Amino acid sequence: MNIFTLTFLIFLIAVFLVYRLIDARYRYIWLLVSCMAYYAYMCPGGIFVLLYIIAVSYLTARLMMRKNRTLYFVTGLTAVIAPLIIFKAIGLFFESKLEVVGSSFFILVAAGYIIDVYRGVSEAEKNPARYALFISFFPTISSGPIERSTGLLKQIRNDGPFDEELARKGINRILRGLFMKCLIADRAGTIVNAAYGNIEGSSGLTLLLAALLYSIQLYADFAGYSNIAIGIGNLFGFEIAENFRQPFFATDTTEFWRRWHITLGGWFKEYFFYPLLRTPVHSFVQKMLTGVFGHGDDTRKAKKRAKKVSTYIAMFALWFTVGMWHGISLNYLIGPGLLQWVYIILEETFSDPFGKLWQKLKVDSEGKVIKCLRRIRTFLLFSAAMVFFRSASVTSALTVFKRIFTNPDLAGTIANRAFPGPMSLWRFVLLLAEIIILFAYDTLKERGGSLSDMLAKRSRITVWCFYLLICIVIITGLIYNSGSDPSTFIYARF
């Protein structure tokens, strides 16, 4: 059941109306039934996997309240994570992979819950229905955001009154998500898909445009979905975790990943990277490196260098795992994985030398010009990595880079009217205008402003007229949006 179908719209309205009408004590039961029906309709075979994950993680948390909690923890966590590894491995060894929609997301939610209960961060949920709703909540199940037990589950436990203000903000988020997805991501996708579908026949200029546009398409598509999911959650009275925070304002790769797919990065740092730094293996590696770097009596400097290198080794494991989470494929391992690790190391390595250079040149390293250049650099590095992510293989990605640098063919591309690809020039100008609107809004948020706060100061009639105008813009854009498929989200395949 895709969110762009009439079926989903009817489903959402029906679920919401019944949710408003019934007693607050029974709303979670109605939502659970709706979520299970939604997932069973969307992925009939996957419903058994979902029920398995819910049952195993729920029982594991309950059993950990007794003796032998470590044994239950290890066994239960392994049983929950194993299906995810199996699904990824099937895609590696067989042409037709097993499709379990959202498994990469709801399995991480369940695993995080088990770890939280084991650590004492969260109590084991006694009510199986409330817990099942936490795992299967339909707005977030297919592509996140990846929720924590301290967030969504805690809210599900509280049967509060309907929050009209939160619902209004939810409508705002849904419309914003539709704007990003339908008018930017799908329109940009027509150029990107055409270029990557015919790499050898596309000029370097067209491929460069496609590479840059894909970063924007991916942002508008994924953040658009997250906005819709958060907005639907708001309609039902839940505050869903933020997944994006103006990522293209980041001045380096480390900051970028604090702003991009925030819940995934937070999950891997909290449950994988930080525990890895506390393991005996990491301590052993650090001691070994201290001995390697030790010179004379300068053990302090050796320890500092060993700590940094051992952390880089742990970061390698982190980014390797992040790449494999996207899929057991070399292009996923490189693009959203190890290439990010390389970027971070290079940026940290050259941070001090560049800082000294700016001092000598008497240039303010925190000034607007330098910050702008850093943001452009970060965007270009991310776009280069996403060439691997978008390409069918590493070979295809390398071909894209080769043609960009060796066959730009600027004159020929313009003369043959091959720019900007299959899209007419006026549609391309319209796309650029929509991208400018998106970044103007992100600029407003980056400076601490909020469209919701601005609308809150206006009359109800003005607010609804604004929403109506946005709906008209989105519908008009869909009518004139040629060659794109608004029915699929990029991250839905993970």
The predicted-structure confidence for 376-386, as pLDDT tens digits, reads as follows 999 999 999 99
Which tokens is 177 given?
A: 């998500």
Query: In this prediction, what percent of the chain has a pLDDT beyond 70?
Result: 89
- Per-residue pLDDT of 34-44, as tens digits, reads 999 999 999 99
Q: Alpha-carbon distance 61 to 275, whole Å?
A: 20
Confidence of residue 296 (pLDDT cuts 50, 70, 90): low
Radius of gyration for the chain, computed over Cα atoms and rounded to the nearest angstrom: 24
Q: Is the dihedral of CA 389, 391, 392, 398 positive or negative?
A: negative
How much is the mean pLDDT over the chain? 88
Residues 256-269, mean pLDDT to the nearest whole number: 97
- Per-residue pLDDT, 136: 96
Which among 14-18, 65-69, 171-175 has the top mean pLDDT?
14-18
- Per-residue pLDDT of 342-395, as tens digits, reads 999 999 988 888 778 878 887 777 788 889 999 999 999 999 999 999 999 999
Q: Is pLDDT larger for residue 220 or for residue 413?
A: 220
- Per-residue pLDDT of 394-405, as tens digits, reads 999 999 999 999
Q: Specify the pTM.
A: 0.91
Q: What is the DSSP string of 176-234?
A: HHHIIIIIIIHHHHHHHHHHHHTTTTS-HHHHHHHHHHHHHHHHHHHHHHHHHHHHHHH
Q: Alpha-carbon distance 477 to 106, whole Å?
A: 33
Pick from 243, 234, 283, 235: nearest CA to 267: 243
Pick from 186, 173, 152: nearest CA to 232: 173
- Per-residue pLDDT, 252: 95
- Per-residue pLDDT, 462: 74
Which among 43-47, 105-109, 171-175 has the top mean pLDDT?
105-109
